[in-house]
Amino acid sequence: MTASTRAALLLCFILLPTGCRSDNVWRHTGIAPIPPGATIHLRVAHAVNDRLPRMTPSQLDSLLAATRKTALEHFGVYLEFSEVTETSVDALLALIPPQVRQAHMNEIYDFKSGTGDRKRLAPGILNTLQERGTKLADALAYARPYLPDTAQPRSLPELSTALAEVMLARLDDWRALKAADGKPVLDDTPRNEWILWDTLGYGALPYDVVISNQLVASAEFTAVEVHTAIRGGLTTGTTTFSRTGPYGSFVFWSTFPFTDTSAQSHALRGNEDYSATQAAELSGAYLAHEIGHLLFKFGHPFGHQACVMNPASMLHYRAWYEGLDARRCRIGSLPEMRAGAIPEAYNAAWLRMARER
Ligand SMILES: [Zn+2]
């Protein structure tokens, strides 16, 4: 589930002042997790932003091979990938139905113009923490090393405030990053906005996995996860609703955090850069995390390092990879590792808008 019911209810009053229509609710897709041992075919696209470094076709092959291997070891599922279709970031984002895009846009915190409403960020994070049933001790065990020493949160609201501050400070650092052309990586286009990628599946998206060299770093009033906040709003991958997808969702995957060699990425990776081969293989292994969301609807067993579904801390993808142990993280061995732990949901009103387009 990638957006909050509360936000959707608020939204429906904004859109429809007379009150909510009965279909303006979040609903589960009802698509069952697939059984272990299945062979699954996935359609793959590479969405390129020409301004940013990109993986070569041979890197993409290595990436997908690593995804296949990791998914088989940890989930017992055989993945088959289509030929990779190359497209552009802009062509894909143009698939979003304009009405849906408009309805979702007010969840974006505008950090570029400085006009965003800062006060709404911490309550948005708190809402997500509460919706996911996050325990303070678990979240702190995960986030504590990456919060400033001055932050001593003793409750979920205090943690939410600390996370909002850290997210905005690190997002400013992403904002300062320059591309090879000397202009900001996060330019004035909305390509970096997670909300747009989260909305892409309301269009007729003909892919199950969208790999992109786009840096997605942004702040939202809804669905901000702990691991995303401490990275400065950076998204490595997201699995979210797709109205045409056979699994009810599609995966967005950014290679930028693996290939970028800026000082900020270097530091957040634990003071290292990856070779071209390492970037492809680590990225591919970590993409299996999203496959776990896509096919099995697993949750996040924070801190269980043996599990693919434990999000990497910051950009420590190598440490994440080295902690994996399929024997110590079987399907069903933890609540978050039960198939169907987080069923995919969609907004019924937005789907109606998309179909009426
Ligand atoms: Zn995840």
- Calculate the dihedral angle through the C-alpha atoms of 93, 96, 227, 303, rounding to the nearest 10 degrees: -110
Separation of CA 309 and ligand 1 centre (Å):
6
| pLDDT at site 3 | 36
Indicate whether this model's pTM tops 0.75.
yes
Separation of CA 116 and ligand 1 centre (Å):
26
Separation of CA 18 and ligand 1 centre (Å):
37
| pLDDT at site 24 | 53
Write the CB contacts of 230 (distance below 8 Å, at least 6 apart in sequence): 143, 146, 147, 163, 166, 167, 170, 313, 314
Q: pLDDT tens, 239-290? A: 999 999 999 999 999 999 999 999 999 999 999 999 999 999 999 999 999 9
In which residue ranges of the chain is pLDDT below 70?
1-24, 357
> In the chain, where does DSSP find H-type helix?
5-15, 57-75, 89-93, 98-105, 121-131, 136-143, 156-176, 194-199, 226-230, 256-259, 263-268, 276-291, 317-323, 348-356
Separation of CA 336 and ligand 1 centre (Å):
11
Instruction: List the structure tokens of 105.
Output: 């846009």
Contact between 238 and 194 (Cβ < 8 Å): yes
Tokens 């290679």, located at residue:
255
Separation of CA 19 and ligand 1 centre (Å):
34
Separation of CA 302 and ligand 1 centre (Å):
10
| pLDDT at site 43 | 98
Q: What gap in Å lies between CA 345 and CA 239, rounded to an integer? A: 11
| pLDDT at site 123 | 93
Separation of CA 293 and ligand 1 centre (Å):
7
What range defines the domain where residue 229 resides? 5-356
Separation of CA 323 and ligand 1 centre (Å):
16
Residue 230 Cα distances to 34, 238, 254, angstroms: 32, 16, 17
Separation of CA 308 and ligand 1 centre (Å):
9
Separation of CA 341 and ligand 1 centre (Å):
12
Separation of CA 39 and ligand 1 centre (Å):
22
Q: What gap in Å lies between CA 195 and CA 236, rounded to an integer? A: 14
**Overall domain count for the chain:** 1
Quote the Cα angle for 37-339-130, to 5°.
Answer: 155
Separation of CA 16 and ligand 1 centre (Å):
33
Counting Cβ atoms within 10 Å, is residue 281 exposed (0-12), middle (13-18) or buried (19+)?
buried
Separation of CA 301 and ligand 1 centre (Å):
9
